[in-house]
Each structure stands twice: as structure tokens, then as C-alpha cells.
Structure 1
Amino acid sequence: MNILITGGTGFVGSHLTEALTKENHHVYILTRYPDNYENTKQITYIAYDYYVRDLPAIHTVINLAGDTLFGYWTTEKKTNIMKSRTEVTQHVIEMMQQMEKKPEVFISASAIGFYGTSEDLIFTENTTEHGEDFLSSVAVAWETTAMQAADEMHIRTVCTRFGIILGEKGALSYMTVPIKMFAGGKIGKGEQWMSWVHIEDVVNSITFCMQNEHIEGPVNVTAPNPKRNKEFTKILTKVLNRPNWFTTPAPLVRTAMGEMSELMTKGQYVLPGKLNEHKYQFSYPYLQNALQEINLHKKPKKMSQSQ
């Protein structure tokens, strides 16, 4: 089938594209710089102003675009984080409106930041109340924009709320730096929950949602066994064969990283309710196995923008 993806050259998108092409799907990747890539038999790179009517019938649209969260959150950075998600999503909505034959499913990325943070609450898709911080506002705006596909065009729409995605790139490449330098340890008291998920399960969850016509609305894409920061760090240092000696004071992290420090000093316990309900089988339900599969000793390549 024909699948249109935004953010197809980013961390998640590149893994997803590889999986889809192995299943003989044709992937159309919407990118700002199509000339930077070479088309293949199963991958076509197209610009954002591509004439929609020139596309073949698209079965699935997957929206993964968004500016990276990493970096000091200046006012400009926060604006880019928000706009890169809502504006691209709105553009995709308008593309689907122009399609003569509508896609059967629209899968749009979101984040567990929707729920806000807590050390004692358990969040599932049945949790309708969102948080009050910046990341929550981003997730709410992102999902509200995406749900136009369902509300206005009656397209089955899924908002995949990603947890901390573990792979050779992304958050884990930042977490391992102090540990590899023998200076790793928990952050603050280490009580903050880390709802993680292996990149393979991210890809498989997306394709699972794509194929299962009974799944719609928000879907938590997290492993079923979250860990507190102190437990996560203990397992990570064990896998890397490094000591777990140091504690990084939370105020120091906040001073060094500003508002972005919330990604490390706060967290939430999120369970994949819908995936469990629909019998999705996680490849990596347990953290140690997930970390052992990833080549943590490999030097990560420079991360590409996910647009």
C-alpha cells in the first residue's frame, strides 16, 4: 500500500520507513529538502508544496514531524517546538482534505507529556485530564489539530503518545554520556518515573495501530514496566559496566538546562492500556533486555531534524 510520512528522515521515521519498505509498502516522505535524498524503488521524497492530486491513492498518513525537544528552552525554542508540530500537522490535514480518496487511517505522533507529571498517579488513555506545563500544552494542541481528520473527514485517527524512546539515537544517547565518563547516577532523589519504550516497539506499535481498525484516539506507546529514575540508572550502569556512584542534584540540572530539565527531573507512570487491551505483544517489555539489545557503545551519528 501507499503510505505518506512526515518526519520520515528522523529517528523514529527512518526506523519506520525501513520496516514498511521491508513489507513492500511504498513510502512517500514529505520533507523540506527532497533534493537532499535519492528516491528508490519503494521510497519517494516529496516537498511540502507537492501537488496532492499527483499522488496515488494513499492508504495511511503518518505524522511524525517536530523540532527536537533537546536544547535550552528559550522563548524562540519553545515557539519552534510548538509550531513545528501544530503547523505541519495542519498542513497534513489540508493535504488530506485535497485528496479525492481519503486515507483509511491517520496516525499522528504525540507524547505522554499530555498527562503532566506525578510521582504517585498512574496514567492510561482513560485519563482525560491533561497537565498544566509546557509539554502538556504542546501535546494538547498537537492532538487537537490532528483530530480534525476524524471530526471533519471521518478518517480513523490515532494519536500515539510516545514515552522515552530508547535507541542508539534520541534521549538515551544523552543519558549515557555521564555514565560512560564514570560520573553517572540518579537525578535528585531518583523517585521520578520514566515511562520508556524500545524503538522496535515504537515501530511495531505504529504498524499495529495502522492495521487494527478498532484502534483510534490516544494510544500510549510505552513499555508495560516503567521504572523510577534511580532504578533506570542502576540498570543502565549495569549494562554499560560502569559504576553508579554519583547523584546529580536536581537544582543543578535545573540551573544548567532551564525548563528543559523537566524532562529529567520530573516524570509520569504511564501504562499502554489500549495496546494491552488489543493484545499487542511487546518485543521488549523489560528494561534490561531493551538496553542490552541497543548498541550503547556505538558512537551515535548526528541527529537529523525530524522534518
Structure 2
Amino acid sequence: MNILITGGTGFVGSHIVKLLTSQGHHVYIMTRSPEKHESKGKVHYVSTDVAAEELPRIRAAINLAGASLFGRWTDERKEAILKSRLETTNNLIELFRNMDEKPDVLISASAVGWYGTSDNKIFTEKTTTPGNDFLADVCTKWEAAAKKAEELGIRTVIARFGIVLGTEGALPLMEKPVKLFIGGKIGDGEQWVSWIHVDDLARMVKFCIDEREISGPVNFTAPYPKRNKDFMRTIARVQNRPHWTMAPASLVKLAAGEMSEMVIEGQCVKPAKAVVLGYTFQFPILEAALHNIQKREQNYDSIL
């Protein structure tokens, strides 16, 4: 199968590419600078402005590209976060329009931030009303752009990612205070953390490609989200470090600005659709997921 992907060189994208190529699929990674990469084996690099006729028959497309959410959300940064996602998605839809044979399916990334934040609600794919903050607005507009693929007869899956755990991404930042023996909850610690191991995320992408009855929003989260206080306590236990401090929410807001909403507020998001349709999680339990990632870090350090 030939699969097209945007954002394929990033943390999440590279794991998806590795899984797909290990299963024998050819992956075409769209990038602004294909000349900086060497196409090899089943991995091919193409320009973001590639013409439809330059590609083979694409059976599935995965849309991940967008400016990082990490960093202070200045007005300029917020514009880049939204613009990068909409431009990439709109360009992808235009590419599909020019294809004689359209992809069978589009898996387009979004985030659990679509739901907004709550300490007491449980969100599933049956939730129909988005939140009203910046991230919810970005996700709503990003998803609307991706859904234009449905007008072309392309089955469209909106992949709402939770916090993706791996040796890169958010986890190293969350682990750092713990490793420095100053780990603890953020604020009152009651905010929910809806997480997923990067391996499960990659496997869920392939699951959504294969299962033709899946469409619309799908929560890419593990079945057992954690309160922040329990999440941080689990990190400390796995790292064999103390869990005793508390980072005041006011200080986090001062340091990170509006982006602090991602860590001092949260949402409890359950993967109801994936569970009903038969996806089996490799890492449903946080502690096992963290032990697996720690082992990978140690193996990497031993190689160095």
C-alpha cells in the first residue's frame, strides 16, 4: 500500500512511518525540503507542492503537520499554530482534488483540546459541543478543513490525540522536575491527563486505515486517564524519585502564559470508539507505559 503523510519526520510521524514500513508499506513523506532527506527503501520524500501525477496511487493519507504547541502563546505564535495546520490541510485537500483516483481514507490529526477543559466531565466521541478556548478553536477549524475530504468521497477519520508519551515530546519535560528531585503535582493536581503511548498511537492509525467502518472523530487516548497528582506520582515511582512538591498554578501561568492551560487544566477523554470497534491497547496502564519508555531511554543511553 502507498501511504502519504505530512509531518512524517516529527516525533509522532517517525513512529508511524517506522510501523508502516515494517509492515511492507511504501510511505511518501511530504516535506518543504525533500532535498535534505534521502529516499531509501520504502520511505520516499516528496515536496509539499508535489503534483498529483508525480505520485503513485495513494491508498491512504495521514495529516499530522502543524507548528508546535510548545512555547509561549504570543499573538504571532497563535497565528502560526492555526495557519500552519489550515494551510497544510487545505493543500492536501487540493492535492486530492487533482488525483484521478482519490485515497480511500484520510487520517487527520486533531487533539483532545477540542473538548475544552473540565475536572468532572467524561468526554467521548459522542460529545458534540467543543470547548471555547484557543486550543478548542484551533481544533474545530482544523477538523473542519479536514472534513472537506468527505466531499471527495474519502473516508475521513479525525484523530484526537491525547498527550503522547515517548522518549520525545511532552514526557521528557514532565519528567525533568522528578529527575531533579523536585517532582510533584501542578496546582491542586485534580486536572485530568488523557495520555497515550506513542506505539499505541501508531498502531491505532493503522487500525483506522484498515477498519473501513471507522470515520469521524476517534479519541487517541489510553482507556485509563489519570489525575495530574496521580500521573506525577506514577512518574516518580517509575523513576524511583520522591514526589513531594507542588508547583503553584499562578507560577506556571506566569512562566508559560496562556499555554499553561494545557498543564493546569485538563480533560478526561475516553477512547470509546476504539474500544467498541475492537482495538487492543498494548499499553493501557500508565505505569507499564512509563516503564517501557524508561527502558528505551536506558538502552539509548547505553548505546551512546
Q: Distance in 1 between matches of 2:28 and 2:296?
A: 33
Give 1:273's aligned amino acid. A
What is the CA deviation profile of residues 47-105 of structure 1, one whole-angstrom value per residue up to 9, with x for unaligned ones? Answer: 11212111110000100101111001111111111111111000000001111101000
8 Å contact kept, 1:195–1:269: yes
2:207 corresponding residue in structure 1: 208
Give 2:184's aligned amino acid. G
Trace 1:188-203 onto structure 2 (pairs within 5 A).
Answer: 188-203=187-202
8 Å contact kept, 2:167–2:296: no
Q: Distance in 2 between matches of 1:38 and 1:275?
A: 35
2:287 corresponding residue in structure 1: 288
Q: Distance in 2 between matches of 1:88 and 1:50?
A: 13
Unaligned runs of 5+ in 2: none
Q: Distance in 2 between matches of 1:91 and 1:275?
A: 29
TM-score (norm. length: structure 2)? 0.97
1:21 corresponding residue in structure 2: 21
How many residues are aligned here? 299
1:272 aligns with 2:274: no
Trace 1:40-51 onto structure 2 (pairs within 5 A).
Answer: 40-51=40-51
1:120 corresponding residue in structure 2: 120
Trace 1:143-154 onto structure 2 (pairs within 5 A).
Answer: 143-150=143-150, 152-154=151-153
1:304 corresponding residue in structure 2: none
Give 1:113's aligned amino acid. G
Trace 1:52-131 onto structure 2 (pairs within 5 A).
Answer: 52-131=52-131
2:225 corresponding residue in structure 1: 226
1:236 corresponding residue in structure 2: 235
Q: Distance in 1 between matches of 2:2 and 2:138?
A: 29
> What percent identity do the matched residue pairs reach?
52
1:168 aligns with 2:167: yes
TM-score (norm. length: structure 1)? 0.96
8 Å contact kept, 2:163–2:195: yes
Deviation of 1:41 after TM superposition, in Å, equals: 1.8
Deviation of 1:298 after TM superposition, in Å, equals: 3.5
What is the CA deviation profile of residues 254-278 of structure 1, one whole-angstrom value per residue up to 9, with x for unaligned ones? Answer: 0110000011100000000110110
1:8 corresponding residue in structure 2: 8
8 Å contact kept, 1:240–1:296: no
Q: Distance in 2 between matches of 1:229 and 1:249?
A: 13
Kindly report structure 1 stretches of 4+ aligned residues shifted beyond 6 Å: none
What is the CA deviation profile of residues 12-65 of structure 1, one whole-angstrom value per residue up to 9, with x for unaligned ones? Answer: 110000000011100000001111111012111011121211111000010010
1:137 aligns with 2:137: yes
Q: Distance in 1 between matches of 2:183 and 2:296?
A: 15
Q: Distance in 2 between matches of 1:217 and 1:158?
A: 5
1:38 corresponding residue in structure 2: 38
Deviation of 1:116 after TM superposition, in Å, equals: 0.1
Give 1:14's aligned amino acid. S
Q: Distance in 1 between matches of 2:296 and 2:41?
A: 33
3-state SS of paired residue (1:263): helix
What is the CA deviation profile of residues 133-183 of structure 1, one whole-angstrom value per residue up to 9, with x for unaligned ones? Answer: 000001000000000001x20110000000010000000011011111111
3-state SS of paired residue (1:140): helix
3-state SS of paired residue (2:158): strand
Deviation of 1:295 after TM superposition, in Å, equals: 2.5
Give 1:104's aligned amino acid. D
8 Å contact kept, 2:34–2:47: yes
Q: Distance in 2 between matches of 1:103 and 1:297?
A: 35
Give 2:267's aligned amino acid. Q
What is the CA deviation profile of residues 174-223 of structure 1, one whole-angstrom value per residue up to 9, with x for unaligned ones? Answer: 10111111111000110000000000110000000000000000000000
Unaligned runs of 5+ in 1: 302-307
Q: Distance in 1 between matches of 2:296 and 2:23?
A: 30
Q: Distance in 2 between matches of 1:208 and 1:185?
A: 36
Looking at both structures, which has the greater relative contact order when contacts are Cα pairs under 8 Å and sequence separation is at least 6? 1
Deviation of 1:296 after TM superposition, in Å, equals: 7.1
